């Protein structure tokens, strides 16, 4: 009777034009999804004692909370070696390599590690500290290579003032990492973003709602990565630091989205390296020390077509001027790069002296078969599913002082398939290929990796996995006849996120 009476009162209020205010969130009520939250995000509960709200739950703007999270992981690979050419007399048996001897993109990397995330703040201001630990053997840690052991990864403050009408601002200051123009569904993708930055500085983000359909984005920031003197005994005391080189990065980004379905963004970053070395050479040993610059221009497009998945396409252009002296402010372009180092070594050539131009297009398609079949009903990930991601990247060396590399091209391609059979088991298949030009010919590395993974629930963030990888190499990539790369690799690993 009480329920019927309440329903009658509600209908009467609506009929009279009164506004019925929604009830405050109570324990057990539905939680609104967080902005940009993956549909696979776990239904995390509050911290012990109720000090922090559940993930995505509304909070009071003045309520202070402390959050602790992190990730533990450990992977080990065993490579089944091959008999070397011209083996010595009496050689017998099959060599095993731990970790495996491989090149190119691999689905797993050997080693153990952990990440610890500490956050404290409220809806207006918050602090974040990330602590990294890598346990890859005592010989790779310690005094002269601190980045291979425990280290503070990021530490910054985030300020989110009250909205100014339709304008929302966000300020970040400290030591942090940012990435842009990743074609994947959640911004990164199989082959990563076209631009990733890190350093000490600030970034300002602004969002403006023109109307319910159109939204504008603006980001601007300045970062610095200081160097250390040539005679500093420990060399690089942190993974971002360069010896004798300081790098300053200026970046700006402008974008627009329509109905959160179509988006277009422009990205610009300029890294300026001040080289103060007098005795040590650059990584291009025939290139004298001199100030350098690396400019990046990117056009990013994206289509989110629920339920059919998403397509992201990013086109980039890099301009290098004495870039052998640009330090580690830009750390990702086409694959990982420490400043301009890997971009120059792989695509401009060792005789380029760090001068040239490079262009690339990266694309990725992501989809969930269950999401398509369930439509128009929502799919929360707690059922059988087939998930697919396909990515490709094509690059062109437009200009280089190295005649072997100028006007050459190459490509990357990758595929990831996951069949979620039961709440605790799923089958995976990953395949990658990298083909690029070198002065000795085509460098090619490819792999295909079937595997099986176990987890505690449909949406759990823990996984135990066993996989087999078959590798394929060109003669340019596998060029040491006395110690061949491993073609067959078995990998066992696990991770847990909390």
DSSP output for 34-81: PTT--TT-----PPGGG-SPPTT----TT--EEEEEEEEEEEEEEEE-
Residue 310 belongs to some domain of the structure: yes
Q: Per the structure block, which two tokens stand in for 2?
A: 């009480």
pLDDT (average), residues 242-259: 93
Tell me: pLDDT of 49 over 60.
Answer: no
**What pLDDT sits at residue 196?**
95
Q: What is the mean pLDDT of the chain?
A: 84
Are the beta carbons of 398 and 409 closer than 8 angstroms?
no
82 inside domain? no
pLDDT of residue 103 exceeding 80? yes
For residues 237 and 400, the model is more confident at 400
Residue 230 resides in a domain:
yes
The alpha-helical segments, DSSP class H, found in 320-360 are: 341-343
For position 144, what pLDDT does the model report?
A: 52
Range 355-367 average pLDDT: 96
| % of the chain residues with pLDDT over 90 | 59
Query: Which of 445 and 234 is assigned the larger pLDDT?
Result: 445
> Which of 80-94, 105-119, 152-166 comes out lowest in average pLDDT?
80-94
Mean pLDDT of 226-245: 73
Q: State percent of the chain over pLDDT 70.
A: 83
Mean pLDDT within 423-451: 95
What does the block give as tokens for 278? Answer: 């007098």
Q: Domain for residue 219, yes or no? A: yes
Residue 378 lies in a domain: no
Is the pLDDT at 439 greater than 90? The verdict is: no
What is the pLDDT averaged over residues 2-7? 38
Per DSSP, the residues of 172-205 read: EEEEEEEEE---STTS--TT--SEEEEEEEEEEE
> Which carries the bigger pLDDT value, residue 184 or residue 55?
184
* Beta strands per DSSP E along 305-384: 310-321, 330-333, 335-336, 356-368
Of 6-15, 325-334, 466-475, highest mean pLDDT: 466-475
- Residues spanned by the domain of 173: 160-372
Does the structure show a pLDDT above 70 at 43?
no
Answer yes or no: is pLDDT of 15 > 90: no
pLDDT band at 139 (very low <50, low <70, confident <90, very high): very low
Q: Do 229 and 244 form a contact (C-beta atoms < 8 A)?
A: yes
132 pLDDT more than 50 = yes
Burial-class residue 395 by CB neighbours within 10 Å (0-12, 13-18, 19+). buried
Instruction: Note the pLDDT of residue 111.
Output: 80
pLDDT reported for residue 113:
86
Res. 2: pLDDT tops 50: no
Q: Grade residue 138 by pLDDT with cuts at 50, 70 and 90.
A: low
pLDDT value, residue 89? 80
The predicted structure's pLDDT at residue 86 = 78
In this predicted structure, what is the pLDDT of residue 127?
96
Does the residue 97 lie in any domain?
Answer: no
What is the total count of domains within the chain?
Answer: 1
CA 246 – CA 243 distance, rounded (Å):
8
pLDDT at 3: 38
| d(C-alpha 423, C-alpha 167), whole Å | 43
Residue 318 lies in a domain: yes
Count of other CB atoms within 10 angstroms of residue 309: 20
Average pLDDT over residues 66-71: 93
18: pLDDT confidence band, cut at 50, 70 and 90?
very low
The DSSP 8-state label assigned to residue 324 in this structure reads G
Question: HSE on the CB side for 189, CA within 13 Å?
Answer: 34
Q: What is the pLDDT of residues 260-275, one digit of tens each?
A: 899 999 999 999 999 8
pLDDT tier at 44, thresholds 50, 70, 90 = very low
The pLDDT score that the predictor gives to residue 133 is: 82
Pairing of strands 151-159, 65-80: unpaired
Q: How confident is the model at residue 31 (pLDDT cuts 50, 70, 90)?
A: very low
Structural domain contains residue 317: yes
pTM: 0.84
Distance between CA atoms of residues 315 and 181, nearest Å: 9
């Amino acid at each position: 009777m009480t329920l019927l009476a309440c329903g009658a009162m509600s209908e009467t209020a609506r009929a009279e034009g009164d506004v019925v205010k929604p009830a405050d969130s109570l324990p057990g009520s539905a939680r609104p999804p967080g902005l940009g939250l993956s549909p696979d995000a776990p239904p995390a509960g509050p911290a012990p004692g109720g000090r922090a709200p559940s993930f995505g739950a509304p909070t009071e703007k003045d309520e202070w909370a402390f959050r602790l999270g992190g990730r533990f992981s450990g992977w080990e690979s065993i490579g089944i070696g091959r008999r070397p050419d011209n083996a010595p007399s009496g050689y017998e048996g099959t060599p095993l390599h731990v970790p495996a001897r491989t090149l190119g993109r691999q689905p797993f990397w050997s080693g153990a590690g952990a990440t610890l995330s500490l956050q404290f703040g409220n809806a207006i201001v918050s602090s974040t500290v990330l602590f990294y630990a890598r346990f890859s053997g005592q010989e790779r840690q310690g005094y002269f290579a601190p980045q291979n052991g425990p280290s503070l990864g990021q530490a910054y403050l985030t300020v989110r003032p009250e909205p100014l009408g339709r304008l929302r601002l966000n300020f970040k200051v400290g030591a942090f990492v940012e990435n842009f123009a990743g074609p994947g569904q959640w911004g990164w993708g199989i082959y990563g973003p076209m631009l990733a930055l890190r350093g000490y500085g600030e970034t300002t983000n602004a969002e403006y709602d023109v109307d319910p359909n159109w939204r504008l984005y603006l980001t601007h920031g300045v970062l610095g990565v200081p160097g250390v003197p040539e005679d500093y005994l420990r060399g690089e005391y942190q993974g971002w630091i360069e010896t004798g080189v300081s790098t300053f990065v200026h970046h700006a980004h402008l974008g627009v989205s329509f109905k959160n379905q179509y988006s277009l963004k422009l990205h610009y970053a300029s890294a300026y390296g001040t080289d103060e070395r007098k005795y040590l050479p650059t990584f291009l040993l025939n290139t004298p020390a001199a100030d350098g610059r690396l400019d990046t221009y990117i056009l990013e497009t994206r289509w989110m077509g629920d339920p059919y998945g998403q397509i992201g396409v990013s086109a980039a252009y890099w301009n290098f001027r004495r870039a052998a002296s640009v330090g580690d402010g830009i750390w990702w372009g086409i694959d990982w790069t420490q400043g301009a180092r890997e971009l120059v070594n792989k695509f401009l050539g060792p005789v380029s002296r760090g001068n040239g131009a490079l262009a690339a297009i990266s694309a990725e398609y992501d989809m969930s078969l269950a999401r398509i079949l369930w439509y128009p009903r929502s799919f929360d990930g707690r059922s059988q599913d087939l998930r697919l991601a396909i990515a490709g990247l094509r690059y062109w060396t437009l200009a280089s002082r190295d005649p072997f590399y100028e006007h050459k091209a190459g490509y990357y391609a990758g595929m990831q398939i996951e069949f979620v059979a039961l709440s605790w088991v799923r089958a995976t298949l990953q395949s990658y290929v990298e083909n690029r030009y070198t002065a000795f010919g085509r460098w090619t590395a490819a792999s295909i990796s079937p595997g099986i993974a176990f987890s505690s629930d449909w949406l759990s963030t823990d996984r135990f996995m066993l996989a087999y990888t078959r590798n394929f190499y060109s003669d340019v990539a596998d060029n040491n006849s006395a110690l061949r790369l491993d073609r067959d690799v078995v990998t066992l690993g696990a991770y847990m996120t909390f």
